[in-house]
Amino acid sequence: MQTFWKIVQFILGFVLGLLLTAGIAAGIAVYLLNKLADTPSKPLFAETMSPTIVEEKEEKIPQPEGYRAVVTW
């Protein structure tokens, strides 16, 4: 009879150990996946930081004869 309880104790301990390990692993996986699922913050650009200081760029008028260019493949 004593051998039976040792076997039951071993099986119960083994199953509880597996459940505890699986629970901890699942908790860590959920934590890490939730951190990866967050959307990143909106990037800040110099143009959006100070909209009052905007330099007006003069657009160059293209020449009617065009530009000389060499096309290479």
What's the count of helices (H) and strands (E) in the chain, helices before strands?
A: 2, 0
Q: What is the pLDDT of residues 55-67, one digit of tens each?
A: 556 667 777 777 7
pTM check: above 0.75: no
Alpha-carbon distances, residue 7 vs 12, 16, 17, 69 (angstroms) = 8, 14, 15, 87
Q: What is the DSSP string of 9-49?
A: HHHHHHHHHHHHHHHHHHHHHHHHHHHHHSPPPPP--HHHH
Residue with tokens 């760029």: 57
Q: What is the pLDDT of residues 7-61, one digit of tens each?
A: 999 999 999 999 999 999 999 999 999 988 888 888 888 777 755 554 556 667 7
